[in-house]
Structure formats: C-alpha cells, structure tokens
Amino acid sequence: MKKALIVDDDRNILTTLEIYLEDKGFEVVKASSGEEGLLKFQKESPDLVLLDMKLPDRNGLDVLKEIVTSGIKTHVLMITAYATIETAVSAVKMGAFDYLPKPFVPGQLDLVLERLKRFHQMQNEIAVLKGIFSEGGILTRNRRMRKILQTARQAADSNAIVLISGESGTGKGLLARLIHDWSSRTGCPFVTVDCAAMQESLLESDLFGHIKGAFTGALSDKVGKLKMAENGTVFLDEVSEIPVVVQGKLLRFLQSHEYERVGDPKTHTVNVRIIAATNKDLEEMVREGAFREDLYFRINVLELFLPPLRDRPEDIQLLVEHYLKRSARLNDKPVQTIAPDVMQCLQNYTWPGNIRELINAVERSVIIATGYELKISDLSPHIANYNPASSSDSALQSLAEMEKEHIRKVIMHAPSLEDAARMLGIDPATLWRKRKKYQLD
C-alpha cells in the first residue's frame, strides 16, 4: 500500500485529506508542524507529501527544500491559502510535483493524482528502455529477473495462488508485496504469516484464530490472520515449515475457503488471495513425506523462482550504489562514492546471503567509513579477504551446486536434451525435473 504524509496545521484539512487519501488506497501519516513533518518524512519515506506553505514553525518552502535534498524518492504537492504565481513557480523549481490553492475540491486532487499516475508510468517506461526495473524495493537490470517480474505482474490481477521459491535473502517477501500492490486487492490488507516462527498449535491459532478457553493461555477470542486479511492477501512465508497436521487444514481452506477456529465448531469463510514462499525444494520434501503432495499441487499453480545474487552479477553494482546512498542518509554519514578496488571486491564475492547480506554489508561499511569514499578497510574482513580462486574449487561446493554445474555443461555441449539425458545416464523426465529445480533454461 502506498503511503502519504499530510503536513498542515489545519485540523479540518488534515481530516478531509486523510479520508480522501485513504479512500484512494493510501496509508496516511499526519503532522501539524514543519519539524514534525520532517521527522515523520525521514521515518516513513512516504510516496506522496501534501505540504502546507504556511506552517506554525517553518515556511513550507524551507521544508520542501529539506525533503528534496534528503535523497528519498517522493512527490510533494504544495497546498496554501496564499497562492501567488511567484510562490507556485518557486515551489515547482525547487522540486514540488504540483501546487494547489486553498480551498480546493476533490476533483482538483483527482486530476493531480491522475497526472502523478501518468508520470509514474512514464518513469517505468524510461526505466524499461534503460533495462532497469525499480519498484517495491526490487532493483534489477538482470534479464531473467525482469522476465520473472513481468510474469508476476501478469498474474497479479488473477486470484491464482503464487508460489515464490528461492534462497534466503533473494527478496521473496518483497515480490509477494509487489504482487499484492499490483493487484485489485491493493487497498485491502496484506498479512504475513511466518510459518517457521511458531509451534504447531500456535501456528494453527495464528492462521485460523481461536475461541476463549480453546487451550491453556487462550484467555480471549482471537481473530486469525485469514480473517484479518479479508479481501486482501495472506503471505505464507516459509510454507515448507508448516506441520503436516496444519497442512491438511490449510489444504481444506484452499479448496473451499472454509475453516474453523481452534476450539470452535462453527465454519467460517473468508475471501483472500494466498501467496506462499519457500527456500526449500518442496518436490524433494514431498518424496520424503515431509510435505503433502496434494497441498504442493494446490499451492503450485504459478511458481516464480528468484535467482540468487551470484547469478545476477550485473545487479551487484546497481544494488551497492543504491544501498550506499540509503545507508549514508539514514546514518547521517558523508560517504558518497566507492573506490574501484572496493567495487571489484564486492563484485567478486559470491553473496551466500544474497541481497539481505549485501544490504547489511553495505550498511556496516558505511557506518565504519570516515570519509567520502568507501575503502577496502571499511569492508568486513571476510569480504575484503575473499579469494574467488580458492573458493571456486569444486571440493568446496555443495553436491547440489556440483550437480547443477555438471548438468549445465552437458546441456551446453549436447546436440539435444534427449542426448543430454543419455550422456547423464538419466531419462528425459528426470532431466526435465532437474532443469526445473536448478532453473536451467
């Protein structure tokens, strides 16, 4: 859900704009002074700011200047009862997106939001021409990633269950939220269920809810996450960790949209869209009996595999530069550039923790840094001293990585997939499954 910040000392204006923007699908944050507005702007990083020109403690143009120079991507709409051509021109020159005089009617705001929507569309089209995708916290120029995101956008307006797979730290949660924001459910709740963080009984209660006295400690009725997400999206994070008993109850819900709260015989229904994520091989878990086959087929309507960062080398510099600027701003550090040898070091590293590890590594380096340029001495020792030559030795690879690399090489040199299967000593169906598992095109 997009976020809007309203900065105005008029309570009537605050209330009116809050109602209007919430109706348009925004999460609204309010402030009644310039200083409060700037604090909430830094904390919330809103997509849209509606800023009064005359505030009790500061001039709106001064607040606008600080917003523009903060580096946080946003759009500012100036509002004032003291409209002149000169102030309008000054505000736009300083970076305001548009300007509205008080009093204004909803139709005028409708026009501004429509222009803003068209502006975003143009920005996305320009980014596509540059080969860069940047939305919802996902940043990439990798061709394969952009194809996955295109598929996700196409699937967003359906009610189909989406299964997002990939290693930890690849951005599965971000993609789930982006699918929700792209869908017609965007104005409704997006609720996350961390399936790996709870015991069996607690997970069932968290998902479906319970009634008072259902078990020891159930001191009152509880609404489950499914009901909390009415008409919205439920994100089942690490769905592979759901206990087998709860898997059966989840399967029943997916088939009928019906469920019972713990301790309650009454059947309830709810309209939600399910998105699931896993960092494990669910097919292997099915073969081992750890995951129900019928549930696997039910949630695997559309699978989106997010490749690890080591398979997206062209994205490393893009991500490092982006998070360097963000970390410097949030930590009030002067770092602006990266020494060439540092960038080379970061590009050589394999990032086993993927984007999550990269973000943490960049922030740590920014905090340690003392100048305007990031140096080797600012990096964590295990990254600064990383030796790609010794680490590429097959003896240090996992069996899965060795198998993946071997299959890739055989496919590259074999005249056909049938010949590749014959060379590998497996049947074509097994090769198909392994290509799907390792995302080998």
Band the pLDDT of 217: cuts 50, 70, 90.
confident
% of the chain surpassing 70 pLDDT: 95
Residue range 61-84: mean pLDDT, rounded? 81
Q: What is the mean pLDDT of residues 219-242?
A: 92
Among 134-143, 201-210, 393-402, whose mean pLDDT is lowest? 393-402
- Cα 2 to Cα 25, 28, 384: the distances in Å are 7, 9, 38
Q: Higher confidence at residue 428 or residue 156?
A: 156
User: CA nearest 291: which of 283, 300, 302?
Assistant: 283
Beta bridge partners of 208: none
Least confident interval from 168-172, 284-288, 383-387, 429-433: 429-433
pLDDT for position 393: 45
3-state class percentages of the chain: helix first, strand second, coil last, to nearest 5: 50, 15, 30
Separation of alpha carbons 236 and 191, rounded Å: 9
* Mean predicted confidence (pLDDT) in 249-266: 90
Q: Assign 439 to helix, strand or coil.
A: coil
- Contacts (Cβ under 8 Å, ≥6 apart) of 102: 13, 79, 80, 81, 83
394 pLDDT above the threshold of 70: no
For residue 403, pLDDT over 80 is answered with yes
Q: What is the mean pLDDT of residues 211-233?
A: 86
Query: Could you tell me if 251 and 264 are in contact, meaning their C-beta atoms sit under 8 angstroms apart?
Result: no
Q: Which fold has domain 159-305?
A: Rossmann fold (3.40.50)
Does 93 have pLDDT greater than 90?
no
- Helix (H/G/I), strand (E/B), else coil: 233: strand
| Whether residue 183 has pLDDT greater than 80 | yes
Band of pLDDT at residue 9, cut at 50, 70 and 90: confident
Dist CA 188 CA 174 (whole Å): 17
Instruction: Tell me how many degrees the CA angle 95-101-107 measures, rounded to the nearest 5.
Output: 100
295 contacts: CB under 8 Å, gap ≥ 6: 247, 248, 250, 251, 254
- How many whole angstroms separate alpha carbon 36 and alpha carbon 55? 11
Instruction: Mention every residue, 6+ apart, whose C-beta is less than 8 A from residue 156.
Output: 179, 180, 182, 183
Instruction: Using the structure block, give the residue that is written with the tokens 């019928």.
Output: 294
pLDDT at 60 over 90: no
Q: Could you tell me which residues are beta bridge partners of residue 262?
A: 210
For the cut 50, the answer to whether the pLDDT of residue 395 exceeds it is no
* pLDDT given at position 275: 97
Query: What are phi and psi for residue 17, nearest 5 degrees?
Result: -70, -35
| Torsion angle (degrees, nearest 10) of CA 171, 175, 177, 181 | 150
Average pLDDT along the chain: 87
pLDDT of 396 reads 53
pLDDT score, position 251: 95
Q: What average pLDDT score do residues 197-210 get?
A: 84
Q: Is it the case that residue 291 has pLDDT exceeding 70?
A: yes
Average pLDDT over every residue of 2-9: 90
Q: Decide: 386 and 356 in contact? Cβ < 8 Å.
A: no
pLDDT, tens only, 16-51: 889 988 888 888 999 999 999 999 998 888 889 999
Dihedral pair phi/psi, residue 65, rounded to 5°? -60, -45
Residue 96 DSSP SS3: coil
Report pLDDT digits (tens) over 313-337.
999 999 999 999 889 888 888 898 9
- Strand, coil or helix: 277: strand
How high is the pLDDT of residue 354? 95
Overall average pLDDT of the 144-159 stretch = 92
CA 51 to chain centre: 28
| pLDDT at residue 397 in the model | 61
Q: For residues 64 and 51, is the Cβ–Cβ distance under 8 A?
A: yes
Highest mean pLDDT pick, 17-21, 230-234, 408-412: 230-234
Strands (E), 3-83: 3-7, 27-31, 48-52, 75-80
Helical packing angle, 428-438 and 417-424, nearest 10°: 100
**In this structure, are residues 316 and 346 in contact, taking their beta carbons and an 8 Å threshold?**
yes
Contact 90, 64 (CB under 8 A): no
Tokens representing residue 194 in the block: 């961390």
Looking at the structure, give the CATH architecture of the domain made up of residues 309-391.
Orthogonal Bundle (1.10)
* Alpha-carbon distance values, 328 to 169, 229, 323 (Å): 22, 36, 8
- Residue 76: is its pLDDT beyond 60? yes
Q: Which of 10, 29, 105, 17 is nearest to 74 (CA)?
A: 29
Q: 3-121 belongs to which homologous superfamily? A: Response regulator (3.40.50.2300)
Per-residue confidence (pLDDT) for residue 285, from 0 to 100? 93
Whether residue 173 is predicted with pLDDT greater than 90 in this model: the reply is yes
Residue ranges per structural domain of the chain: 3-121, 159-305, 309-391, 394-438
Locate 361 and state its tokens. Answer: 């590594």
The average pLDDT across 153-161 equals: 93
pLDDT at residue 119, rounded to an integer: 83
pLDDT of residue 342: 94
How much is the pLDDT for 430? Answer: 85
Q: What is the pLDDT of residue 29?
A: 92
| 302 within 8 A of 161, measured Cβ to Cβ | yes
Cα gap 31→183, rounded to integer Å: 30
Segment 104-121 mean pLDDT: 83
The residue-averaged pLDDT of 393-403 equals 64
> Between residues 230 and 220, which one has the greater pLDDT?
230
Domain 309-391 in the same topology as domain 159-305? no
In angstroms, the CA 14 to CA 20 distance is: 10
